[in-house]
Amino acid sequence: MPSKKELLDLQFVDARHMLINLAAFLDRIDRHPGEDDHRLTALKAAIPVILENRPDRAKAVLESMSDHSTHLPQSAPFQGATGAPPAEPSSIPSDR
């Protein structure tokens, strides 16, 4: 099993890149007009989980960004996924 230092030596630059990329994304979002939607709300809610000292952070973030509803619609309002559970069904964009 590698040590923390060995893992940092191998993966720190990549993790740093991802963190800077997320900060840049949030900066871009803040510079544009309009209201936050469920995706940004879910993303911001997941960020504190990353800072928690727990062994299942990745699982917790994934679950927080997943739709746990059990209702299956008769037809999909669009093709694809939004990447975060909608606050309300009507908040899913239909113009995709």
What pLDDT, in 10s, does the model give residues 75-87?
777 776 778 887 7
pLDDT of residue 69: 80
Residue 96 has pLDDT above 70, yes or no: no
Q: Map 28-62 to HEC letters.
A: HHHCCCCCCCHHHHHHHHHHHHHHCCCCCHHHHHH
Give the global pTM.
Answer: 0.75
What pLDDT, in 10s, does the model give residues 1-51?
999 999 999 999 999 999 999 999 999 999 999 998 989 999 999 999 999
d(CA 92, CA 85): 9
The end-to-end CA distance of the chain, in Å, is 45
